[in-house]
Amino acid sequence: MTVELTPEAVAGMCRDLRAPSYWMSGSNQGHDGENDKPRAAADMMEALAADRDEWKQLAIALAEVEADQNALLTAGSAVEKLCEEWAARAEAAEAKLAAVEAERDHVWQSVGIADCASIKAAAENMQAKLDLKAAEAEANRLRAELAEAHEALIWCSGSNDFQEGGIARDGWLKLCAPILRAIAKGDQA
């Protein structure tokens, strides 16, 4: 026989256990202590029935704890997976960095003396070009000054002092006339 333990069934059993045992036997008289054990059993059953709700609450709380524990385990697994993934990415980045540094070192090692010599020659060539530009600029400046001096000499040649019989004629023939002829000759060339 299967008995369903509902709160009402437990309360009924407790009432039956509390009834004087001589009533159950059909006697109208009781004996000392014959009801102590059934009453103690009824007290224990009532306590168990009262604790039943607390046990239910404990079972619910335990189920929630187990669910939280499972969620934490799942989250922990996800975190471990992320950590492994980031560790792999860090290793890959370190490997790429090492490869770049190795390539850089290789490039620096491959730049030999011949490369240095060609770099030096190129720098000297550039300096020579810069020197040539500076020389051209200086030549242009001197040409401009010479043109001004030539024009000044031409103006001076009209002075009576430099003409035949003038007091500066000998100086003119010795200094100024050769300069004017050289300038005229250079312009024709």
The whole-number pLDDT of residue 121 equals 80
What DSSP designation does 162 have?
G
Which residues does 159 contact at the CB level (< 8 Å), separation at least 6? Answer: 166, 168
Of the pLDDT bands very low, low, confident and very high (cuts 50, 70, 90), residue 22 is low
Q: Is the pLDDT of residue 25 over 60?
A: no
pLDDT digits (tens, 9 = 90+) for 137-170: 888 888 888 888 888 888 888 888 888 998 988 8
How many angstroms separate the first and last alpha carbons of the chain? 143
pTM tops 0.85: no
Report yes or no: 183 and 146 within 8 Å, Cβ to Cβ.
yes
Centre a 10 Å sphere on the Cβ of residue 177 and count the other Cβ atoms it contains: 15
Range with lowest mean pLDDT among 41-45, 59-63, 164-168: 41-45
Report yes or no: 32 and 60 within 8 Å, Cβ to Cβ.
no
Which residues does 34 contact at the CB level (< 8 Å), separation at least 6? Answer: 21, 22
What is the DSSP code string of 111-148? --HHHHHHHHHHHHHHHHHHHHHHHHHHHHHHHHHHHH
